[in-house]
Structure 1
Amino acid sequence: MNYETGFETRDAGTIGFVADGEGSTSSGRRKIIAAVVALAALILIAYVVFGRSGTAPTDENEQQLPTVTVVAPGRTTVSGQIVATGTLAARRDMPVGAVGEGGRVIAIPVEAGDWVRQGQVLAIIDRSVQSQQAQSAAAQIQVAQADANLAQANLDRSLKLVERGFVSTADVDRLTATRDAAVARVRVAQAQLRELQARNARLNIVAPAAGLVLERNVEVGQTVAGGAQALFRIARGGEMEMLAKLSESDLANIGAGKTAKVQPVGSEKTFSGQIWQISPTISNADRQGTARIALPYAPELRPGGFATATIESGAVVAPVLPESAVLSDREGAFVYIVDSEGKAKRRPITTGAVTPQGIVVTEGLNGKERVVLRAGGFLTEGETVKPQMAKGS
């Protein structure tokens, strides 16, 4: 009985042993599966980390490079232009003052802005005293003429008596001298009258030439004297000019006869003019000279005002760049170009005229370079970039 029981217990143990073996086998399978999964994950990670290193980094780096817009400017024929500033003035500014002895002003028939003709009276001076002097001189002529007539009559009678022997030759000579002196006194009186009349005519202030009255510096009741300050200023013929300030190099590129467009400050109108004189000297203060541009009269051209002139200076063939491409610093103007390796390179340039098409580059470029159009100020020398040609280039 006990034997059987023990046998059964042993069988049960055997059975339990077998069951334990089967559990160990399942656990091992699970471990194997987990190991396989872990290995696959490691392989995947290794592929992601190391597998792309041979192919993707180049594309990724290219995507990270800054993209810049470039242009190839070429060479363009541009009409040379020089822009200058200056002041407007009368081409022939005539100051007019009192040329006679002067006096009190009793009338002024003109105002600033009026057009006057040559010889027109600008101001009338009181001449009441001078008129009396002229009348006195005219009376002196009559007195002298009467004496001359009497002397001539005495001489004529004496000549008739000489033939009869009643008058000597000495008496005739004396009477002749008296007659000549009387005639001379007549001429003196006449000259004195003409002098007074000329003085009186110079009392009035008249226009020396036709033109536009720019200034009136006298009022009725004012006493003026000869040689005093100018009482009027007249622009002869109304002609105006611009005194354009130019550097030495710009003066060397222009000459008399060149056309210019002048625009006064505050006006949208542009006036055509012509250079008629170039200053023969250069100012020591600012190293500039003056080009005088003749202009016809226009109400917008006011002497003393400022204006801008655009002067034609001949055609040039050179690259033309937009203003955004040209940079400058202490060393001067420069641009960034992109070389064949995609690296940004600084290129010093010399700029010329500014035209509606852009800035003319006279030195530093041949027109075939790839010039950075914008954002050049954010680049550094030698930086690798991704160039992209601008549309239309």
Structure 2
Amino acid sequence: MNYETTMNYSGPADPEAGETVETEAAAASTRRRRIIVAALIAAVLIAIAAALLLSGGEEADLSADAETVPSVTVLAPGQGTIAGVINATGTIAARREMPVGVVGEGGRVVSVPVDQGEWVRQGQVLAVIDRAVQSQQAASAAATVSVNKADAELAQANLDRALKLVDRGFISKADVDRLTATRDAAVARVKVAEAQYRELLARNDRLNIVAPAAGLLLTRSVEPGQVVGAGSTALFSIAKGGEMEVQARLSETDLARVSVGTSATVTPVGTGKQFTGQVWQVAPTIDEQSRQGIARVALAYAPELRPGGFAEVRINSGTVVAPQLPESAILSDEDGSFVYVVDKDNKVRRRKVTTGLVAASGIAVTSGLEGNEKVVLRAGGFLNEGDTVRPVAERAEPAGSAR
């Protein structure tokens, strides 16, 4: 008996083969998920990059716009009291220097009892000249005076005796006249001799070189043993009363701003010490070569003030109330001085100004500014009327310190 038996089996015949099919299916699903995630990540990155590119372009445009507008430093100067100062240099000298030389006939110098830098009084002997010969001449003249006096006394006695005999008739009138003339001549010779004697004494006194006035002895150019004579160069120089001065050299413009009595400060070169004085004389003439004049500043004596030395001088030239700007802010051309002012729209505007006193902290602007404007401090030479700028306020510091 034949039987056909049909058996249905859904699974693989080989169990290992079934497991392989399931593994491949799972791997395919995993790959699909990875591809989807990668695509999403790529899309996000692209979006971020696009955003960055767009924002970067905008910033670049803003930077480019900012770079085209220059920044300038501005300052509102306000109003202030400005003390004008004229700076100059000059030479220290004695206010009244007195050269002292040989007054008499001169001779060999015996002694010099003073030295430079010492104070001397009026009439003090500065140098003694040998007077041995002159002393003998004076002694001879004194003897001559004595002889003439004796002759005069004898002539007077003879005349007295003659007058007593006239009444008796022993002496004539003519003899009396002759004796009177003899007496008169003798008296005259006495006077001549005395005058000559006094002259010799005066000449001898002039052999000593003396100080004509009290003061500070500046120079001494004579030594014992030296032979000096009339007409020789000065042997000593004296600063009368020790008074000093500085001969400050000023331009024509500055000299016109200085007057007698103006105060000044003097600083000798090599010292940090300052001395206060006053202008006591303004030169009436201007040097044709240097175009300068001299203002003489009187100073009291001080050891640091050495004649011939160099000094810096600051002369006060008055005060003024006005805005003050550093030199860098003030420009000039053929039309005169001007400044650049930044208006409310940040536009550069030219403003004509008039300058005044110059001080260490800046220059006074006497007209053209009220003081509340935004004035360009630097780089004005690179600007033009109507330029747009970005003003930057100046930090608080002295105007004179602007770079």
Equivalent of 1:164, from 142, 161, 168? 168
- SS in structure 2 opposite 1:209? coil
Distance change in 2, residues 1:301/1:333 (3 Å): farther
Distance 1:250 1:100, change over 3 A: same
For 1:74, which of 75, 78, 81 is the aligned residue?
78
CA distance in 1, matches of 2:366, 2:306: 36
8 Å CA contact 1:244, 1:309 repeated in 2? yes
Match of 2:66 among 62, 65, 80: 62
1:189 partner amino acid: A
In 1, are the aligned partners of 2:77 and 2:324 still within 8 Å (CA)? yes
Equivalence for 1:116: 120
2:242 is paired with a residue whose SS is: coil
Q: Contact between 1:264 and 1:270, CA under 8 Å: does it hold in 2? A: yes
> Measured at CA, do residues 256 and 378 of structure 1 come closer, stay the same or move farther in structure 2, by a change above 3 Å?
closer
| C-alpha distance in structure 1 between counterparts of 2:102 and 2:68, whole Å | 84
Per-residue deviation at 1:334? 6.7
Residue in 1 that maps onto 2:263: 259
Provide the residue aligned with 2:310 in structure 1.
Answer: 306
The alpha carbon displacement at 1:258 in A equals: 1.3
Find the residue that maps to 2:284 and give its secondary structure: coil
Could you list the runs of 5+ residues in structure 1 that have no partner in the other structure? 1-29
Q: C-alpha separation between the residues in 1 aligned to 2:178 and 2:255?
A: 79
* Deviations 1:37-80 (CA, angstroms, capped at 9, x unpaired): 99x979x9699669977x99457623664433311112222122
2:88 corresponds to which residue?
Answer: 84
For residue 280 of structure 1, give the secondary structure of its aligned residue in structure 2.
Answer: coil
The answer for the alignment partner of 1:11 in structure 2 is none
Residue deviations 1:127-184 (CA, integer Å, cap 9, x gap): 0000000000000001001101110111111111101000000000000000000011
Rounded to whole Å, the distance in 2 between the matches of 1:120 and 1:47 is 101
Amino acid at match of 1:156: D
Query: 2:181 is matched with which residue: 163, 177, 184?
Result: 177
Q: Corresponding residue for 2:111?
A: 107
Q: Distance in 1 between matches of 2:277 and 2:328?
A: 32
SS in 2 for 1:387: strand
Query: 2:83·2:357 contact (CA, 8 Å) conserved in 1?
Result: no
Counterparts of 1:114 and 1:327, CA distance in 2: 55
2: distance between equivalents of 1:130 and 1:290?
A: 48
**What residue in structure 2 maps to residue 321 of structure 1?**
325
Residue 274 (structure 1) aligned with residue 290 (structure 2): no
Question: Within 2, Cα distance between the matches of 1:251 and 1:111?
Answer: 38
Change (3 A) 1:112 1:279: same
Contact (CA 8 Å) 2:85, 2:360: kept in 1 or not? no
Structure 1 range deviating more: 221-230 or 95-104:
221-230
Pairing 1:323-362 to 2, within 5 Å after superposition = 325=329, 336-344=340-348, 352-362=356-366
Instruction: In structure 2, give the amino acid aligned to 1:225.
Output: G
Give, in whole Å, the separation in 2 of the partners of 1:150 and 1:367. 104
User: How far apart, CA to CA, are the structure 2 residues paired with 1:348 and 1:266?
Assistant: 43
What's the counterpart of residue 301 of structure 2? 297
Deviation per residue, 1:341-388 (Å, 9 max, x gap): 4355676766554435334345665433322345x2794436543112
Superposition deviation, residue 229 in structure 1: 0.7
CA distance in 2, matches of 1:262, 1:51: 64
User: 2:371 and 2:72 mapped to 1: Cα distance?
Assistant: 18
Match of 2:15 in 1: none
How far, CA to CA, are the matches of 1:51 and 1:298 in structure 2?
Answer: 74
Residues 258-278 of structure 1, C-alpha deviations (whole Å, 9 max, x = no match): 111111111111111111111
The match for 1:204 among 196, 202, 208 is 208
1:2-47 Cα distance to aligned partner (Å, 9 max, x none): xxxxxxxxxxxxxxxxxxxxxxxxxxxx9xxx9xx99x979x9699
Please tell me whether the aligned partners of residues 70 and 390 of structure 1 are also in contact (alpha carbons under 8 angstroms).
yes
2:7 alignment counterpart: none
Q: Residue by residue, what CA displacement relative to the aligned partner does 1:111-135 show, whole Å, maximum 9, x if unpaired?
A: 1101000000001001000000000
2:289 to 279, 285, 290: 285
**Aligned letter for 2:240?**
R
3-state SS of paired residue (1:157): helix
Judged with a 3 Å threshold, the aligned counterparts in structure 2 of structure 1 residues 199 and 51 are, in CA distance, closer, same or farther, namely closer
Unpaired runs of 5+ in structure 2? 1-34, 398-403
Is 1:381 matched up with 2:362? no
Tell whether 2:102 aligns with 1:98: yes
State the partner residue of 2:195.
191
Mapped partners of 1:334, 1:265: distance in 2: 37
Residue 16 of structure 1 aligns with which residue? none
TM-score normalised by the chain length of structure 1: 0.80
Contact 2:322 / 2:365 at 8 angstroms: preserved in 1?
A: yes
* Larger CA deviation: 320-329 vs 68-77: 320-329
Q: Secondary structure at the match of 1:235?
A: strand
Where does residue 17 of structure 1 map in the other structure?
none
Secondary structure at the counterpart of residue 249 of structure 1 = helix
2:141 to 114, 137, 140: 137
Quick one: which amino acid aligns to residue 246 of structure 1? L
Counterpart-to-counterpart distance in 1, 2:377 and 2:395:
11
1:344–1:379: 8 Å Cα contact kept in structure 2? no
Deviations 1:224-282 (A, max 9, x none): 11121111010000000111112222222221111111111111111111111111111
- Superposed CA offset, 1:161-216 (max 9, x none): 10100000000000000000001101111000000000000011100000000011
Q: 2:253 aligns with which of 249, 274, 277?
A: 249
CA distance in 1, matches of 2:173, 2:367: 104
RMSD of aligned alpha carbons: 3.4
Q: Which amino acid aligns with 1:355?
A: A
Does the 8 Å contact 1:104/1:224 carry over to 2?
yes
